[in-house]
């Protein structure tokens, strides 16, 4: 183990456990309670080097895939915006109808950690990058958020409703898990290109 490869940042708080994440730059972030000695944290990091390496490997694979495809262009973004305007309202109306609940506003934005969300008032927000996904994958997220019009959590009732209106949800979710990070990275590259121009 090369210590410089596993340098880390400690974030202390009134938590009870020690946890470890790797951010998008590859930096190791350790969250720890006040009072936990650095010797313990150092050992915790050493015991989790396999997890760190695996995580960094996945991130590098995403970087490589995005670089091979290339950044989104302004034309790509315009195309996605047009598709969102034409497709999202009808799809939300359809799945909300299957659930039997009214919905509020539909907003479209780029979200870095979510594909969609549903507020307590029934307002649905959808990630613009869904418009670069296969159609069924895009619809699976809309169906998911429509189910939140009826169920505000991810309990058994929610998933029972979701599989009723969208039986192919698991396969679509796997596609997003496998490919979504590449779409996000391509959008980051687009933003970087805009700032650089």
Exposed / middle / buried, residue 38 (Cβ in 10 Å: 0-12, 13-18, 19+): exposed
pLDDT digits 0-9 by tens, 70-123:
999 999 999 999 999 999 999 999 999 999 999 999 999 998 889 999 999 999
Backbone angles phi, psi at 127, to 5 degrees: -75, 130
Closest CA relative to residue 129, chosen from 88, 68, 98, 170? 88
Q: Which CATH class is domain 74-196?
A: alpha beta
Question: Number of helices and strands (H, E) in the chain?
Answer: 6, 6
pLDDT digits 0-9 by tens, 123-159:
999 999 999 999 999 999 999 999 999 999 999 999 9
What's the CA angle centered on 83, arms 82 and 84, to 5 degrees? 90
Specify the pLDDT at position 63. Answer: 87
- pTM tops 0.95: no
Rounded to whole angstroms, the Cα distance separating 72 from 63 reads: 14
Rounded to whole angstroms, the Cα distance separating 131 from 185 reads: 15
Please state, for a pLDDT cut of 70, what percent of the chain lies above it.
Answer: 97
Tokens of 98: 């299957």
For the chain, which residues make up each domain, given as ranges?
3-69, 74-196
Residue with token string 């020690």: 18
Rounded to whole angstroms, the Cα distance separating 58 from 194 reads: 26
């Amino acid at each position: 183990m090369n210590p410089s490869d596993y340098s880390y940042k400690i974030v202390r708080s009134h938590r009870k456990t020690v946890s470890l994440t790797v951010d998008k730059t590859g930096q190791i972030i350790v969250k720890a309670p006040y009072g936990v000695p650095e010797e313990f944290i150092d050992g915790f990091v050493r015991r989790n080097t396999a997890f760190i390496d695996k995580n960094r490997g996945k991130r590098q694979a995403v970087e490589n895939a995005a670089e091979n495809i290339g950044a989104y262009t302004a034309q790509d973004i315009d195309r996605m915006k047009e598709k969102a305007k034409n497709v999202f309202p009808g799809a939300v109306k359809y799945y909300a109808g299957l659930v039997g609940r009214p919905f509020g506003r539909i907003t479209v934005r780029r979200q870095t950690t979510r594909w969609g969300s549903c507020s307590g008032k029934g307002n649905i927000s959808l990630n613009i990058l869904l418009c670069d996904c296969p159609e069924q994958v895009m619809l699976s997220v809309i169906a998911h958020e429509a189910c939140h019009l009826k169920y505000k959590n991810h309990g058994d009732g929610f998933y029972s409703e979701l599989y009723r209106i969208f039986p192919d949800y698991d396969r679509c979710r796997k596609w997003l898990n496998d490919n979504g990070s590449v779409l996000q990275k391509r959008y980051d590259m687009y933003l970087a290109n805009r700032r650089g121009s």
